[in-house]
Amino acid sequence: MDLTRLLPGPLCTRWLCDMGAEVIKIEDPHVGDYAKHYPPLDENGVGVLYQKLNEGKTFVEIDLKEKNGKESLLEMVQDADIVVESFRPGVMEKMGIGFDQLKKRNPQIILCSISGYGQKDEKNSHPGHDINYLGWSGILSTLEENGSIPVPGFQLADIAGGSMTSLSSILAALHQVKKTNEAIHLDVSMTHSLLPFLAIIKNQLEAKAPGIITGESACYSIYKTKDEKFMALGAMEKKFWDQFCNQINKPEWLTRHPGIGKEFSPLKQDIQTLVGSQTREYWTNLFMNADACFTPVLTPIEVCPSKSNLTFFPL
């Protein structure tokens, strides 16, 4: 049973649906899922993302503010395995359909609560979206370059911290319930679930050493091409760096790996000058068969043309 809106919850339950689960999406008859109204819209005025996230689900409208609506939900819970919700912490309890009420109707129910900060965090009632969770997690600051931080082009917190963490937690909980026959409440915080991503960066900062993956290294960076596109260089290992240098006929750069630190800053500029002298197509063709980790940066439209069918879970 899917009581969620927008992206994290619906994507999680879409994955479950693609895996073979029967998913019933519960929607407010007055407002419904906000994503339904988010552009781009189809010819009927319905959000395209909303449709993609909810394909294969069964829709049931229930007004959870009404007594009859709550009772209808609790009756449905008796035959359910999982309930996924994304209200602010405490809202389910206030409506009379919290974990205690659910497990009275179904002693083996799995309740997965997705929220920004977690059920017990001091910020649990604060509003937020992906960019806020990234900010609190410390992840967003790692994108800083030249005194500014770009807005990420995709929802890392929503998907990695919310959808994927919920999916893996639910799958594990299904096994646990089979062993114990006891209900489980999964508390998924999108902010806290991002913390494992900080492991390598945190160690680097504590050591006060420049890092390879933070854009400070010439061998691991993004370079603009002549046609205003980009190439990604990921030559972290010396063998890949050697291949890169040999392919561009720069043997004098072989000893300058990994190119970290102020003394190597001219190297990064030299690479940019060279990459900027040719188009992305030129570099892509030149390195197509080279073992060098130098690849094009494609746009979403290039990867998934408008008429292609994007699969959420490739089974």
Residues classed as catalytic: 158
What burial class does residue 259 get, using C-beta atoms within 10 Å of its C-beta: 0-12 exposed, 13-18 middle, 19+ buried? buried
The 3-state DSSP class for residue 301 equals helix
- Tokens representing 293? 């980790």
How far is the C-alpha of 214 from the C-alpha of 143, rounded, in Å? 7
Q: d(Cα 224, Cα 206) in Å, to the nearest integer?
A: 31
Contact 18, 12 (CB under 8 A): no
Assign residue 228 a region (left: φ > 0; alpha: ψ between -120 and 50; beta: otherwise). Answer: left
Rounded distance between C-alpha atoms, residue 258 and residue 213, angstroms: 11
Q: What's 95's DSSP letter? A: T
Extended strands (E) in the chain: 24-27, 58-61, 82-85, 110-115, 184-189, 220-224, 230-234, 294-296
> d(Cα 217, Cα 107) in Å, to the nearest integer?
54
Q: Could you tell me the two tokens for 169?
A: 């937690």
CA-based nearest residue to 71, from 79, 59, 62, 80: 62
Q: Are β-strands 24-27 and 294-296 bridged in parallel, bridged antiparallel, or unpaired? A: unpaired
Kindly state the helix (H) or strand (E) to which residue 201 belongs, with its residue range: helix 199-206
